[in-house]
Amino acid sequence: MSLHPATRSDQSLLPGRVAWIGLAWILALTGSVAIAQDRADLVIADFEGETYGAWTTTGTAFGSGPARGTLPGQMSVSGFQGTRLVNSFHGGDASTGTLTSPSFVIQRPFLNFLIGGGKYPGRTALELVVADAVVRSETGPNDIPGGTERLDWAAWDVSEFIGKSAVVRIVDQHQGGWGHINVDQIVQSHRKQGVEPVTRELVVNARYLHLPVQRDAPVRKLKVSADGQTVREFDIRLAEARADFLVFDDVHALRGKTLTIEAVLPSEAKSLEKIVQADELPDAPSLYREADRPQFHFSSRRGWLNDPNGLLWYEGEYHLFYQHNPYGWDWGNMHWGHAVSPDLLHWKELPIALSPRKYGDWCFSGSGVVDRKNSSGFGSAAAPPLVAAYTSTGRGECMIFSNDRGRTSTEYAKNPVVKHQGRDPRLLFHEPTNRWVMAVYDEADGKQAIAFHSSADLKEWTYESRIDGFYECPDLFELPVTGGADGASRWVLYGADGAYMLGQFDGHRFKPDSPKLRTWYGDFYAAQTFSDTPDQRRIQIGWGREISFPAMPFNQQMAIPAELSLRTTDEGIRMFARPVAELASLHTKHHAWRDLGASELARDPLAAVTAELLEIKVEAEVGPTSKLTLRVRGVPVVYDAGKNRLSCGKHSAPLTSNKGTVRLQILVDRGSIEVFGNDGQVAISLGVIPAKGVQPLSASTDGEPPRIRLLEVDELGSTWR
């Protein structure tokens, strides 16, 4: 059989054709690799070495090599890549210097880098130098108190300099606040990696803006304007990749207006488009029903809380104002949140009570009173005003007042009323002198102190005196002494850390007659007491500092409200703190055991108690070596008679038995355990989220076996249901 010539001809060409196609693929692949290599990023410096290598330094600001993140005395630094970065905070903000790269050729149209720190052009800056001239310069974002040490991406278009030699110079020539610069990951690229201004307009047609938050997103500043005026400006971790939870902004007063929302965001982010309007709060059906929500301790519906502020009673309501970030899980954007309660347990949250006048002028802590004689003229004798003092971080100590039961407030036109280096004014009325007193944290002459000012009208204030050795959030009140002579009383001067002194106060100066003492230990800070209570009880609420809820859209809680008293003890007069009697209203199911020794405890009588919310009371006889341990949701609560020590988890406090008897009261909520020893002679607060699942209670003894006279467990109901 013979083949057709044409067919034979095609077959004869096949091997050469395969070779040609293969060569074409090889050439194409080689070309694409070359193109890919030509387009790949060129790293100028990632600063991951122990030294700066061929870079040169002057001065002391940059140290001997890249920093491992945050330096001593610096706020937490974040946003850099790897484990090291350039950080000119070596020696603090007073140090200066420069850091200059070796020469390199510009080969890409963009120079991308991470930058943070001070916003001082030419003094805290990253500079590109071509032919001995600074052709590009960038600073960090900060030039006022506050701010963040987070680095963010920025970029320069350097296409006009391609092919030219250049150096990068990092400059720190500023001393004082934010006198440093942070830099990392300097890269040549064909792609711009930075942030840019983004704007969105919307007409308000609902009560709330729902704002998506991403926990690990960079902190961005969001500005909201209406009619050409800024109406909101705050920091927020606005969702860029995903929304972990929603916060909200109440904009009902702006209904019908066109809002302009501005932020600086990555060019590919669609964050502003994710902001929606609604007449309901975010996730309204599940609000207060979240998995870790405290059930009888106050926590804000959304966002961060810390110091209690403005505690007072008026017309059947306890008012709890508090430091609040409504826009995020972490500290910042200080506003005053507001809640009211008829019984100190069931709280109703109201709209934000106090907002900053402008970005950076934050509303720090303060206090509130009822001006019953209307000495201020802010109200009337028939309808006395509620008056609060707070620290405006941009101005000083300021006054506001309300004539509608705290629902709205008005700023005193002549604020600030006191200007000094300090914060956290505490107001009280001193009956013997018929004058108002302001006890306020004060810094002067390099010392931390509480200063006292007095006033006849809450407007004009006269400096009286100061006492050194206290830090932040003072409180000052008088209490009768139980067990002392008839009519005996002491004034209590109290600081944020829980340390207090007893003494006398004449309206002008505090004269201590005790050393510093302490009732509270553990996760407890910045406590304040209620003014104007109708039953004359002195009720205190503290911030449960470090009681965190990492998976929740809210963070931190208040401690249980406690009634304070002064009692005579073998060691002298001491302040006691006991949970308020109203707590008994939450009891649902009662368990009790009497006369339990080691053998009875070995049978584990508590194992059947698996409720989540508990109040536990123990009265035990102890010997010199007795040790009693209750394991509460996996956390050991221990009284060690040999060491005269009460502990709860990682925290402990000194406690001596009362003639061989020790009493414990333990409160268990979803995020905390609080322990009160010997009727509140000491108190410990511990933030802990117990492991999920059933964790029975248990009790055990060691050393000389204690005898438990009474063990009571009350299961508690929620205040949110």
Gap between the terminal Cα atoms of the chain: 96
Closest CA to 89 of 177, 185, 219, 218: 177
Q: Where are the beta strands (DSSP E) in 358-421?
A: 363-370, 386-392, 396-402, 410-411
Q: Where are the alpha helices (DSSP H) in 133-288?
A: none
Q: Which DSSP helix (H) or strand (E) runs through 621?
A: strand 614-621
Show the 3-state SS of 272-316.
Answer: HHHCEEECCCCCHHHCCCCCCCCCCCCCCCCEEEEEEEEEEEECC
Beta bridge partners of 201: 260
| Residue showing tokens 């109708």 | 534
307 among known catalytic residues: yes
Distance, in Å, from the CA atom of 334 to the CA atom of 357, rounded to the nearest integer, reads: 11
Handedness of CA 547, 74, 422, 493 (dihedral sign): positive
SS3 state of residue 550 = coil
For residue 504, list its beta bridge partners.
511
The whole-angstrom separation of Cα 427 and Cα 151 is: 41
DSSP lists the bridge partners of residue 126 as 138, 170
CA angle 87-358-544, nearest 5°? 70
Dist. CA 386–CA 652, nearest whole Å: 39
Show the CA angle centred on residue 261, arms to residues 256 and 262, nearest 5°: 160
Residue partners of 99: CB distance under 8 A and separation at least 6: 52, 55, 56, 57, 62, 86, 88, 169, 170
Alpha carbons 339 and 350: distance in angstroms, whole number: 5
The distance of Cα 625 from the centroid of its chain, to the nearest Å, equals: 42
Distance CA(660)–CA(641), nearest Å, equals 9
Q: Which two tokens stand for residue 380?
A: 């009337």
Would you mind telling me the total number of residues written for the chain in this entry? 721
Kindly report whether the peptide bond that precedes residue 416 is cis, defined as omega within 30 degrees of 0: yes
The b-or-e profile of 636-652 (16+ CB within 10 A means b, else e) is ebbbbbeeebbbbbebb
Burial letters 427-444, b for 16+ CB under 10 A, else e:
bbbbeeeebbbbbbbbee
307-328 core/surface letters (b: 16 or more CB in 10 A; e: else): bbbbbbbbeeebbbbbbbbbbb
CA distance 341 to 328: 25
Q: Name the catalytic one among 93, 184, 249, 307.
A: 307
Sign of CA dihedral 248, 249, 255, 259: negative
Q: Name the token pair of 159.
A: 């296409």
Amino acid (one-letter) located at 81: Q
Q: Report the DSSP pairing between strands 520-522 and 682-687.
A: parallel
DSSP for 413-453 reads TT--SB-SSEEEEEEEEETTTTEEEEEEEEEETTEEEEEEE
| Tokens at 720, concatenated | 């949110």
Active site residues: 307
